[in-house]
């Protein structure tokens, strides 16, 4: 029997105590340095350092107590975790229900050679479907993953990396792809928020060094339009650069592979490394995601539509369902075909267009969205705040922009049914193409608003146990929507459909 599953109770690696202490004490050095630069009294600096050291020792002591009472073991039938000093907690997962073993190592964990292991059953019940070992040695963690997922740890070599013949690479990071991540508005917002928070935290230091006074003097001595232009350019440059740095940390070393022929594995991370596993039997399709800026640059992301993926998202980290970072669209197509084991990408199948009534609906939405801006322009012109020609030009520009989004949203609208997949596409700001296995559809949700009924349209939602639970075909003709549902799952709608 493998030593991994000998049934003996084991503690986690004691080096994790030092890792926790280092994580708490690491910010002390820059904080004390900032206090010294800003001219804080020596007594205040010493008191701060002493309190920080005491906090680090306290956290290390509490974690040492938790480590002492935490035990785990693996038997041929169960994976068990027992912990708690005051309140004892004993949890067990049957090994035949284990669906994922994910490894995460933060920078402090990597320094001490330990890794966090999350063992999940693929359920949707949150913490009750997952057991977590806070830190075990890196090589033992990889052996554990192999044993729990495949029942064999013999492929783990001394370096802790699976033997090459057990894994085939589907996609690997090209450093040029990181430029696509710089177009992510979400990452830019994170960067701007972090900078704003840092300015607030170090406001006293900035005042003491005269930074605020220098910026104020420069703004007063410069024209308003130049200040606005320079500020916008600086914010854009910082957002793009910060997005690049964040994507570098998240996706460096990315590799999507098929392990043992039936498990998809994503490895990534520069400072914090992560390894996420997904059994192919839980895969129900893929989703191609194209935010507007990324789409204009010819890029896309690839997500998995699968059952039992952990829905809790780590801060500033992509979802566990992400199979491919922002990359050229051709790479996303090729990877989707490899993931689905198809010779050609199903997401490139020509789609059926929807009725013109769907375009009218989107034009109406665009005009309603533009109305507040038009009213604001009219009021500003009436009170003389801006010249009338400028108000007219601004109003016309706003209407044209919203109408452009409406036309683009209609052009992106479509669906198709193949022998194996239901394919749907919608969206303008974020265009989403979903390729869903017909075998994964378990029901239908038909919805029609008052305006849809007047236009002869309906929204057909395919319900599934995977991903977002429902994937919709928007604003399709009523007859086409019912025919689509009936053809995809023959017989399911028969008792509810009146044939004409």
Structural domain of 365: 356-411
* Inside any domain, residue 170: no
- Look at residue 359 in the predicted model and tell me its pLDDT: 95
> CB neighbours (10 Å) of residue 101?
24
Domain edge (last residue) among 411, 444, 479: 411
- Look at residue 160 in the predicted model and tell me its pLDDT: 47
- Please give the order of strands across the beta sheet that includes 78-83: 71-74, 78-83, 89-94
Q: What is the DSSP letter of 106?
A: -
Residues comprising the chain, all counted: 500
> How do 441-447 and 430-437 pair as beta strands?
unpaired
Least confident of 213-227, 253-267, 453-467: 213-227
Which pTM value belongs to this model? 0.82
- Look at residue 467 in the predicted model and tell me its pLDDT: 85
Q: Are 428 and 410 in contact (CB under 8 A)?
A: no
Domain edge (last residue) among 136, 162, 188: 162
* Inside any domain, residue 344: no
- Look at residue 185 in the predicted model and tell me its pLDDT: 76
State both tokens at 190: 């994170």
Calpha distance 448→358 (Å, rounded):
13
Q: Are 131 and 79 in contact (CB under 8 A)?
A: yes
- Look at residue 5 in the predicted model and tell me its pLDDT: 62
Least confident of 68-72, 258-262, 355-359, 438-442: 258-262
In degrees, rounded to 5, the angle at the alpha carbon of residue 430 between the alpha carbons of residues 192 and 331 is 95
* Inside any domain, residue 189: no
* Inside any domain, residue 399: yes
For residue 345, CA distances in Å to 22, 49, 93, 324 come to 47, 58, 37, 15
Q: Which residue in 337, 34, 347 sits closest to 201, CA to CA? A: 34
* Inside any domain, residue 404: yes
- Please give the order of strands across the beta sheet that includes 263-268: 130-137, 114-120, 100-105, 273-279, 263-268, 255-259, 167-172
Domain edge (last residue) among 115, 143, 162: 162
* Inside any domain, residue 289: no
Query: Is 90 exceeded by the pLDDT of residue 362?
Result: yes
* Inside any domain, residue 314: no
Q: What is the DSSP letter of 297?
A: T
246: confidence class by pLDDT, cuts 50, 70, 90:
confident
pLDDT tens digits for 313-336? 555 556 788 999 999 999 999 999
pLDDT tens digits for 139-161? 888 888 888 887 765 544 444 44
* Inside any domain, residue 403: yes
Arithmetic mean of pLDDT, 188-195: 76
Count of structural domains, the chain: 2
Q: Are 145 and 103 in contact (CB under 8 A)?
A: yes
- Please give the order of strands across the beta sheet that includes 441-447: 441-447, 457-464, 470-477
């Amino acid at each position: 029997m493998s030593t991994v599953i000998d049934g003996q109770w084991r503690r986690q690696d004691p080096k994790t105590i030092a890792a926790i202490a280092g994580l708490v004490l690491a910010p002390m050095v820059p904080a004390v340095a900032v206090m010294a630069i800003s001219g804080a009294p020596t007594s205040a600096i010493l008191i701060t350092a002493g309190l920080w050291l005491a906090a680090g020792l306290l956290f290390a002591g509490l974690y040492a107590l938790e480590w002492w009472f935490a035990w785990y073991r693996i038997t041929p039938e169960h994976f068990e975790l027992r912990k708690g000093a005051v309140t004892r907690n004993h949890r067990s997962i049957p090994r035949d229900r284990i669906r994922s073993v994910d490894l995460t190592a933060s920078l402090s964990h990597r320094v001490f050679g330990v890794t966090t292991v999350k063992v999940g059953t693929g359920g949707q019940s949150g913490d009750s479907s997952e057991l977590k070992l806070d830190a075990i040695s890196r090589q033992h963690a990889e052996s554990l993953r192999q044993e729990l997922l495949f029942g064999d740890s013999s492929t783990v070599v001394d370096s802790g990396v699976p033997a090459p013949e057990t894994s085939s690479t589907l996609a690997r990071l090209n450093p040029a792809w990181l430029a696509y991540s710089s177009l992510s508005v979400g990452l830019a917002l994170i960067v701007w928020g972090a900078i704003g928070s840092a300015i607030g935290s170090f406001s006293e230091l900035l005042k003491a060094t005269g930074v605020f006074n220098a910026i104020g003097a420069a703004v007063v001595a410069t024209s308003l339009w130049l200040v606005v232009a320079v500020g916008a350019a600086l914010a854009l440059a910082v957002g793009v650069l910060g997005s690049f740095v964040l994507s570098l940390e998240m996706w460096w070393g990315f590799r999507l592979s098929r392990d043992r022929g039936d498990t998809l594995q994503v490895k990534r991370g520069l400072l914090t490394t992560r390894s996420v596993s997904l059994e192919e039997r839980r895969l129900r399709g893929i989703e191609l995601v194209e935010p507007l800026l990324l789409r204009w640059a010819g890029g896309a992301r690839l997500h998995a539509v699968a059952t039992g993926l952990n829905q809790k998202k780590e801060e500033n980290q992509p979802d566990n369902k992400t199979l491919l970072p922002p990359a050229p669209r051709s790479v996303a197509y090729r990877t989707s075909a490899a993931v689905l084991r198809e010779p050609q990408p199903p997401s490139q199948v020509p789609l059926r267009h929807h009725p013109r009534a769907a375009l009218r609906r989107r034009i109406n939405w665009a005009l309603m969205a533009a109305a507040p801006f038009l009213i604001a322009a009219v009021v500003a012109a009436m009170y003389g705040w801006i010249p009338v020609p400028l108000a007219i030009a601004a109003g016309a520009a706003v209407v044209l922009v919203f109408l452009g989004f409406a036309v683009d949203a209609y052009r992106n609208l479509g669906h198709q049914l193949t022998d194996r997949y239901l394919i749907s596409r919608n969206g303008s700001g974020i265009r989403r193409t979903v390729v869903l296995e017909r075998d994964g559809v378990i029901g239908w949700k038909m919805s029609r608003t008052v305006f849809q009924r007047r236009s002869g349209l309906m929204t057909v939602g395919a319900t599934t146990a995977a991903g977002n639970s429902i994937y919709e075909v928007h604003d399709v003709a009523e007859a086409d929507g019912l025919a689509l549902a009936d053809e995809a799952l023959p017989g399911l709608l028969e008792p509810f459909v009146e044939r004409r």
